[in-house]
Amino acid sequence: MDLQMDPSLATGYKSRAQIARVVTESWAAREAYCPSCQNGPLVAEPKNTKVIDFNCERCDEPYQLKSQGHPFSAKIVDSAYRPMYDAVFSGHAPNFILLHYDQVAWRVIDLLAVNRRLLTVRAVVPRPALRPPARRAGWIGCWIDLQGLPDGALVPLIQNGLERDHALVQDQWGRFNFLSSQKARTRGWLADVLSCVRQVGKAEFSLRDIYAFEDELGRLHPENRNIQPKIRQQLQLLTRYGVVRRVRPGVYQPNG
Ligand SMILES: [Zn+2]
């Protein structure tokens, strides 16, 4: 990938936000590739589609681009809360491509892809409603909580100005392809239990460690009354797919 962006494309634009949008979107349309299948460049979608900015022509994965001139922190600002919540809940949210660039040199510093298979409503956080005299008083936006995502949800394509090997990117992304065949609700359970594993943060964790999230998981999945058996079932599935390893009864290790 050529990490240099072309600011001359924004000639004639006045506002900083517009200039940044034109330059970063043009760069992504020229250079960004699909972490799922390595196909590139991605195809820009017409502006009237609500949340999808780019699409992979080969595997049809949707991507939404977010660009900023400073590093991405724990939370990223997204659009309206309710539509994003509904999109994530129903399994229709796009992947994200997070582009951090040097605002002076117009060069890409970091490019991170967020795997939508691991995005659950747990990570969609409402922001406080806008207050008067804001024109859109009452409007509620959202954050995507990157720290609330399981390990492996964020895959770097470019790190500190250096491009990573495409095959390695595809490998890391592909670890969770098994989730594609699951229904949105099952996928949500698997991803939520995985994000609990990340939060426990131990090299070896027990069932009891995950049971500690029983109340929170119960709130996220109100249709389920028996949370503990559900947790055990998710860990069995995650073991089968090689995402966690069962060390002995009731004790597991995150894999890789
Ligand atoms: Zn693709």
Provide the pLDDT for residue 48.
63
Mean pLDDT (whole number) for 216-238: 94
CA nearest to 68, candidates 91, 31, 102: 102
Centre of ligand 1 to C-alpha 112, Å, is: 16
Cα of 96 to ligand 1 centre, how many Å? 13
Q: What is the pLDDT of residues 123-166, one digit of tens each?
A: 999 999 999 999 999 999 999 999 989 989 999 999 999 999 99
The domain spans of the chain are 7-176, 184-254
Q: 41 C-alpha vs ligand 1 centroid, how far in Å?
A: 10
Q: What is the pLDDT of residue 51?
A: 63
CA of 40 to the centre of ligand 1 (A): 8
CATH of 184-254, one of 3.40.50.1000, 1.10.10.10, 3.90.650.10, 1.20.140.10: 1.10.10.10
Pairing of strands 162-163, 154-159: antiparallel
Q: Beta strands 107-114 and 124-126: pairing type?
A: unpaired
Compute the distance from residue 58 Cα to the ligand 1 centre, in Å: 5
Q: pLDDT tens for residues 40-54? A: 999 998 766 666 689
Identify residues whose C-beta is under 5 A from ligand 1, the ion.
34, 36-37, 39, 56, 58-59, 61
Q: Which amino acid is at 22?
A: V
How far is the centre of ligand 1, averaged over its atoms, from the C-alpha of 229 (Å)?
36
Q: Please give the distance, rounded to the nearest whole angstrom, from the Cα atom of residue 65 to the centre of ligand 1.
A: 15
pLDDT in tens, 211-224: 999 999 999 999 98
Model pLDDT, residue 49: 62
* Top-level class of domain 7-176: alpha beta
How confident is the model over 59-68, as a mean pLDDT?
94
Q: Which residue has the tokens 């109100």?
A: 222
C-alpha 61 – ligand 1 centre gap (Å): 6
Q: Using alpha carbons only, what angle is made at residue 124 by residues 185 and 169, rounded to the nearest 5 degrees?
A: 80
Q: Could you please report the per-residue DSSP string of 76-141?
A: EEEEEHHHHHHHHHTT-PPEEEEEEEETTTTEEEEEEEE-GGG--GGGEEEPPPP-TTSTTTT--E
169 pLDDT more than 90: yes
- Residue 11 in this model has a pLDDT that exceeds 70: yes
* 184-254 has the same fold as 7-176: no
- On whether the CB atoms of residues 158 and 1 are closer than 8 A, the answer is yes
